[in-house]
Amino acid sequence: MAIISVEVFIRTKAIILIKKIYKGYSFLFRVIVSKKIVDNKKEKIIRLVASYIIKIGLSFLLILFLIFLNYFIFTLLSDSFYEFILSVQGFILMFIISIGYFKLRNLFFKEA
């Protein structure tokens, strides 16, 4: 399960989406604070960048939805899986498996 989540996260390039959202917000902040840009221009820039951030944010939400959908499907298959995931041991085990798989994947496939 953790491996599927890591693969969805890597293959959809979710980290790149997060970086794009951060850059968009930092650009917006610089535009808003700037005294050199006229208010009319600020409004246009803010609308454009805000729509860009919303589009990227919705893409990221879709990725999170896919990951949660995997967990939901496995929960439907087994009631004990739901209890296991919500337990501390389940969380720690999923975290360890995810990090271990990510490290092994990087070791063998140098793409991520």
Q: Please say if the pLDDT value at position 4 is more than 90.
A: no
Residue 26 burial (10 A CB sphere; 0-12, 13-18, 19+) = exposed
Q: What is the pLDDT of residues 26-84, one digit of tens each?
A: 999 999 999 998 989 999 999 999 999 999 999 999 999 988 888 888 888 887 887 88
Q: Give the pLDDT band of residue 111 (cuts 50, 70, 90).
A: low
> According to the model, what pLDDT value does residue 91 have?
87
- pLDDT band at 109; cut points 50, 70, 90: confident
Query: Are 56 and 24 spatial neighbours (Cβ–Cβ below 8 Å)?
Result: yes
Residue 112, pLDDT score: 45
Evaluate the CA torsion angle 104, 107, 111, 112 in order and state its sign.
Answer: positive
What global pTM score does this model have? 0.76
Structure confidence at residue 74 (pLDDT):
83
